[in-house]
Structure 1
Amino acid sequence: MSVVTISDHAKVRTVTLNRPEALNAFNEALCDGLTRAMLDAAADPDVSVLLITGAGRAFSAGVDLNEFTVRATDPDSFTPGEYGFSGLIDALIDFPKPLICAVNGVGLGIGTTILGFADLAFMSSTARLKCPFTSLGVPPEASSSFLLPTLIGRQNAAWVLMSSEWIGADEAKSMGLVFAVCEPDDLLAQATGHAELLASRSLTSLMAVKHTMVEPVRQQMRDAKAREGELFTRLMGAGDNADALSRYGREKAEKSS
């Protein structure tokens, strides 16, 4: 089974994260699958807009903690992907066409921070978002330390990134984290309708608009990614992160026993 599914209609490419059994958590395979899909969409002249959503009841449960634990505690046995998480963030930073996210369910970690790259984000009224960084003892990710204050303001971003608390759809809308809140059955139709309207416009003009909006801050995104990466290397597998991963391992063992 492919970790992403792809469909095209009216110059809109819809990429669906397809690990529903893992709540679409990002392992190396899913990072690679979405990165390849984004690179292909960027290069395809018949694609004007990219729409990302999730299969099943989750948008994405964030980074796959099973793989993360192996990477943190036994790095010699960790097998990196072709692009990995870092390559996925590079693809998001550099994506030259309109990007739309349709948050169909729970969004944890990258399932929330990816919205910083979205030109439009739609969210199901029953979905929830969370950045669990402080509960895992790690820094922010995906240039979110720059993108979220820019998008939703310093104090809202501080709460989202520091609290490890859930954010409901209405709260996300009031912050400006999402463009619209939809009933669950209407979410994909609403997001697709907006995507198809954009795709009916001149692609060269769409790309020019995005370039003029994003190019002035692309280097700041890259700088934020580098700062986050340095801290991630320092904190991963140590101190509070080690304690959090140990708790995760115990809870997983208890559930399986």
Structure 2
Amino acid sequence: MSARRQLSTIPAIASGGLRVVTEDGIRRVTIDRQDRMNALDLAHMTALGDVLTDTATDPSVRVIVISGAGRAFCTGADLAAAAAAGGREAAPEVVMDSAARVIRAVVDLPVPVIAQVGGAAVGVGASIALTADLTYASEDAYLLLAFVNIGLMPDGGSSALIAASIGRARATRMALLGERLPALQAASEGLIAGVLPAEGLAAHVDAVAVRLARGPRRAIELTKRALTQSTLTALDGALDREKTGQSELLHSPDFLEGVTAMLTKRPPNFGA
């Protein structure tokens, strides 16, 4: 194995759902749970947080690219896995802390993070995509805050991230109505950096990553920090409020009904 290209030594769980390769200063993190449309259970969310926090202290890494294998970027939390565990996977507060750790790691990293979004970015998957410093999507991609459809509220900092980019009115529409936002519209509203044909997305992201990796590391770090501190001042408060609210909702009858309806492919009947 060359010194320029190395496979990351992530815990065993990652080999089955998270691929990490570092080459020429670019760390590529691929969520690869295609049978679950790249939904993240607690173990894989924790592993993703580990990768990102470990990268913060690795001077060989100058840029990170997060992508999803197959037809989706990430479809959020793996609710099927949680349902199969019968609520025994972890307390809601632990699940929320795991997701918040990922979001905070992306924001706090000293190097830029690029999200390469192909297909669906749903729930916390949308939050991860929008937390990245640069988000590029394929023409067929879309963002979806599906939380309300299953009796939950937005999390992963999305209640602050989206409003900071496109304003309260548009963010409220996404959060309360649970509608898809196509990538082209997301780009036109300033929510993501750009949209590419599906066949050209990876090449474009690679070109941007190479440019950043060859740039002045310290200047890029300080620029990222200044932009983050100027635009995401509400993020920590949002994550705290989301944890409190979501922890309550995850115990609610509406959430049980929403998940049951989703898994059995029928409309939910909230408040029955």
TM-score normalised according to structure 2 size: 0.84
Query: CA offset at residue 20 of structure 1?
Result: 1.0
Contact 1:3 1:29 in 2 (8 A): no
Partner of 1:174: 188
Instruction: For 1:147, give the aligned amino acid.
Output: L
Tell whether 2:94 aligns with 1:63: no
**What 5-or-longer segments of structure 2 have no aligned partner?**
1-14, 267-272
Query: Residue 43 of structure 1 aligns to a residue in which SS?
Result: coil
Partner of 1:153: 167
Instruction: For 2:129, give the aligned amino acid.
Output: L
Tell whether 2:36 aligns with 1:22: yes
Instruction: For 2:221, give the aligned amino acid.
Output: M
Query: CA offset at residue 240 of structure 1?
Result: 2.2
Partner of 2:209: 195
Instruction: For 1:163, give the aligned amino acid.
Output: L
Query: CA offset at residue 126 of structure 1?
Result: 1.3
Partner of 1:123: 137
Tell whether 2:247 aligns with 1:236: no
Higher relative contact order (CA 8 A, sep 6+): 1
Query: CA offset at residue 16 of structure 1?
Result: 0.5
Query: CA offset at residue 95 of structure 1?
Result: 2.1
Instruction: For 1:158, give the aligned amino acid.
Output: T
Partner of 2:10: none
Q: Which has the higher helix share?
A: 1
Task: Pick from 201, 222, 227 the counterpart of residue 213 of structure 1.
Answer: 227
Query: CA offset at residue 219 of structure 1?
Result: 5.5
Name the count of aligned residue pairs.
249
Give the CA RMSD over aligned residues: 2.1
Query: Residue 226 of structure 1 aligns to a residue in which SS?
Result: helix
In the TM superposition, what whole-angstrom CA distance separates every residue of 1:196-219 from its partner, at most 9, and x where no partner exists?
111111111111111112135666
Aligned equivalents of 1:141 and 1:9: distance in 2? 32
Contact 1:116 1:151 in 2 (8 A): no
Equivalences for residues 9-158 of structure 1 within 5 A: 9-69=23-83, 74-75=86-87, 77-79=88-90, 84-158=98-172
Instruction: For 1:106, give the aligned amino acid.
Output: A
Query: Residue 90 of structure 1 aligns to a residue in which SS?
Result: helix
Query: CA offset at residue 85 of structure 1?
Result: 2.2
Aligned equivalents of 1:2 and 1:204: distance in 2? 35
Contact 2:121 2:129 in 1 (8 A): no
Query: Which one is further off, 238-247 or 211-220?
Result: 211-220
